[in-house]
């Protein structure tokens, strides 16, 4: 799995990058090597001096028809990363479970046709 971290506002401190890699390491075990995870981080500062962090995860893989996209807001960076990871984890596990279900198709039986 390839991981790209992009800052959408300002620079990202090194400890935040390390935390992000550590939390998203779980996905590496469950995704193929050619999957691409793009992480966008944005920090909003409002007029009330309340800082809000936004984490955007975009996961593409050749095995997945529709890309996984999540957008999470939280007051702290770590909380936003944890929420985004939980969302993506839930989506991936659902899709794996759905594709692993046993499908049984009834065989088509052709009956001889008799004309009277």
Q: How many domains does the chain have?
A: 1
The answer on pLDDT for 4 being more than 60 is yes
Could you tell me the residue range of the domain that residue 88 belongs to?
Answer: 2-99
Token readout for 46 is: 């409002």
Residue 110 covered by a domain: no
Report which of 6, 43, 37, 8 is spatially closest to residue 23, judged by C-alpha positions. 37
Which residue shows structure tokens 């500062």? 45
pTM of the model: 0.75
Please report, for the domain that includes residue 76, its CATH number.
3.30.160.100
Per-residue pLDDT of 85-99, as tens digits, reads: 999 989 888 877 777
Q: Is the pLDDT of residue 75 over 80?
A: yes
């Amino acid at each position: 799995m390839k991981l790209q971290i992009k800052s959408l506002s300002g620079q990202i401190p090194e400890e935040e990058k390390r935390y992000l890699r550590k939390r998203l390491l779980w996905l590496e075990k469950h995704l193929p090597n050619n999957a691409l995870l793009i992480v966008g981080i944005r920090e909003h500062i409002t007029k009330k001096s309340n800082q809000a962090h936004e984490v955007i995860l975009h996961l593409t893989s050749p095995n997945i028809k529709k890309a996984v996209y999540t957008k999470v807001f939280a007051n702290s960076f770590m909380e936003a990363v944890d929420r985004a990871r939980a969302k993506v984890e839930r989506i991936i596990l659902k899709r794996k479970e759905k594709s692993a279900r046993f499908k049984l198709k009834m065989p088509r039986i052709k009956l001889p046709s008799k004309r009277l």
